[in-house]
Amino acid sequence: MSEFENRRKKVFDQMKDNSVALFFSGVSKIASEDEYLPFVVNKNFYYLTGIKQEHSALMLIKAIGERRAYLFIDPYSELKEKWTGKRLTQEQATYISGLNSVYTSDNLETMLSLALTNENNQYGDIDCVYLDLTSPEQKLKEGMFMNDLSVKIQLDYQKTVIDSYPILRDLRMVKSAAEVECLVKAIERTNNGIAFALNHLKVGMKEHELADYFELYGRLHERSTLAFSTIVASGKNATCLHYPSQNDTVKENDLILFDLGYNHEEYSADISRTFPVNGKFEGVQAKIYEAVLNCNKAVIQMIKPGLTIKDLQEFATEFLRKQCINSGLMDINDDIRNYYYHNVSHHLGLDTHDISLREKPLQNGNVITVEPGLYFAKYGVGVRIEDDVLVSEDGAVVLSKNIAKEMVDVERMMATRI
Ligand SMILES: [Mn+2]
């Protein structure tokens, strides 16, 4: 069974008998007259088909003793291809998705109507229809369309509408080997992009130039898209978590914080590292760096199925508190939340902050970030060290292990830049 077929099987397994499920790829958004924003496929649709073409749909029908899956794509058009580039043929769509029943998208409405009309229906009486109603992505991008469709199905066809989001969320939280491989590729390229940016690092340049070099590397290598807006922040700016302007000059005695990642096949890397511009961690910088690094390693060490992300956060907060007191960075009466003000972990996958049920205990196959940080504005220092790890029975497998983080390795890396 192919990867995508296997995923569809798991959705089928959870659908009620006599039901239909619909998934849509979405459409390109208008940027301005005759110009569209780059198309970003709906992640749940992609997860079930591997298809990245706009205006496509997947219909699953689960009748008693029968499972049917239909893919709908735009009719192949030579003219359209001359204007906007490659379009999938039905054969190519079958090859990618493993779906043998591929129809042109103008058939969707008729076929849905046939499936939902009870008289002489080859599938028997369908009772309910699954729609993706509440995934954050759906609410943002296709909310209006989904609401209209939901109303139509309830009023015109008298069918119950069920939210498919919980099914997809729970499936997507557990990664297959193929998904982990995509994440590893995204992470490896991100590692190369970091090295490329560091090779161009010079005192006196603007922070955004480093972000630009990182992004250029991705574009030069398979035009890798960004998993999220690149963060490069030097000195005190690193104490702002999503520091947007990146217009300051990089100074010799600053630390510089990178939080960045590329996609590979829609899967996101999410990596943070902090480097000394002059090549050496000094004084208070070294103290802060060491506290964060110790915390990063301690959290990775404790990860196992059964714990929750909340457990990791509580552990990390207490760990950082003790580290800061012991190394004299913080007074015993001071509140650690003044210096550590975000979460230590989130799920990672097709979305950088992947859809998940945060309170659900970790399972084999989850991929999460581990990203403690400390931010001391009074010293002009912000440090975050973020790895991407796979949860397994034997603990955490660090997918980003090739990206230097030990102080000696980081210093060696800075000394051997090209
Ligand atoms: Mn992150």
Residues 132 and 200 in one domain: no
CA 67 / ligand 1 centre spacing (Å): 39
Query: pLDDT tens string for the chain (418 positions)?
Result: 899 999 999 999 999 999 999 999 988 888 787 788 888 899 999 999 999 999 999 999 999 889 999 999 998 888 877 877 788 999 999 999 999 999 999 999 999 999 998 766 777 789 999 999 887 776 666 667 788 889 999 999 999 999 999 999 999 999 999 999 999 999 999 999 999 999 999 999 999 999 999 999 999 998 999 999 999 999 999 998 888 889 999 999 999 999 999 999 999 999 999 999 999 999 999 999 999 999 999 999 999 999 999 999 999 999 999 999 999 999 999 999 999 999 999 999 999 999 999 899 999 999 999 999 999 999 999 999 999 999 999 999 999 999 999 999 999 999 988 7
Q: What's the CATH code of the domain at 142? A: 3.40.350.10
CA 198 / ligand 1 centre spacing (Å): 21
CA 94 / ligand 1 centre spacing (Å): 35
Q: What's the CATH code of the domain at 280? A: 3.90.230.10
Three-state SS for the chain is CCHHHHHHHHHHHHCCCCEEEEEECCCCCEEECCEECCCCCCHHHHHHHCCCCCCCEEEEEEECCEEEEEEEECCCCHHHHHHHCCCCCHHHHHHHHCCCCEEEHHHHHHHHHHHHCCCCCCCCCCCEEEECCCCHHHHHHCHHHHHHHHHHHHHHCCCEEEECHHHHHHHHHCCCHHHHHHHHHHHHHHHHHHHHHHHCCCCCCEHHHHHHHHHHHHHHCCCCCECCCCEEEEHHHHHCCCCCCCCCECCCCCEEEEEECEEECCEECCEEEEEECCCCCCHHHHHHHHHHHHHHHHHHHHCCCCCCHHHHHHHHHHHHHHHHHHCCCCCCCCCHHHCCCCCCCCECCCCCCCCCCCCCCCCCCCEEEECCEEEEHHHCEEEECEEEEEEECCEEEECCCCCCCCHHHHHHHHHCCC
Looking at residue 243, what is its pLDDT?
Answer: 84
CA 312 / ligand 1 centre spacing (Å): 14
Residues 159 and 223 in one domain: no
Looking at residue 141, what is its pLDDT?
Answer: 65
CA 91 / ligand 1 centre spacing (Å): 38
Which of 107, 137, 172 represents a domain boundary (last residue)?
172
Residues 153 and 242 in one domain: no
Residues 68 and 131 in one domain: yes
Please say whether the beta carbons of 398 and 387 come within 8 A: yes
Residues 72 and 184 in one domain: no
Which of 112, 142, 172 represents a domain boundary (last residue)?
172
102/245 Cα distance (integer angstroms): 47
CA 371 / ligand 1 centre spacing (Å): 7
CA 351 / ligand 1 centre spacing (Å): 11
Residues 193 and 148 in one domain: no
CA 103 / ligand 1 centre spacing (Å): 39
Per the structure, the complete domain to which residue 343 belongs is given by 174-415
Residues 326 and 352 in one domain: yes
Question: Considering the entire predicted model, what is its pTM?
Answer: 0.94
Residues 399 and 252 in one domain: yes
Looking at residue 143, what is its pLDDT?
Answer: 63
Looking at residue 125, what is its pLDDT?
Answer: 85
CA 75 / ligand 1 centre spacing (Å): 40
Query: What's the domain count of the chain?
Result: 2
Residues 141 and 217 in one domain: no
CA 398 / ligand 1 centre spacing (Å): 14
Residues 102 and 229 in one domain: no
Which of 172, 206, 225 represents a domain boundary (last residue)?
172
CA 119 / ligand 1 centre spacing (Å): 52
Residues 315 and 391 in one domain: yes
CA 205 / ligand 1 centre spacing (Å): 26
- Contacts of residue 289, defined as CB under 8 A and 6 or more positions apart, other chains included, come to 255, 274, 281, 383, 407
CA 141 / ligand 1 centre spacing (Å): 23
- Contacts of residue 22, defined as CB under 8 A and 6 or more positions apart, other chains included, come to 57, 58, 59, 60, 112, 129, 130, 131, 149
CA 318 / ligand 1 centre spacing (Å): 20
Which of these, 297, 286, 298, 243, lies nearest to 381 by C-alpha position?
A: 286
Tell me the two tokens of residue 156. 């015109």
Looking at residue 81, what is its pLDDT?
Answer: 79
Residues 167 and 203 in one domain: no
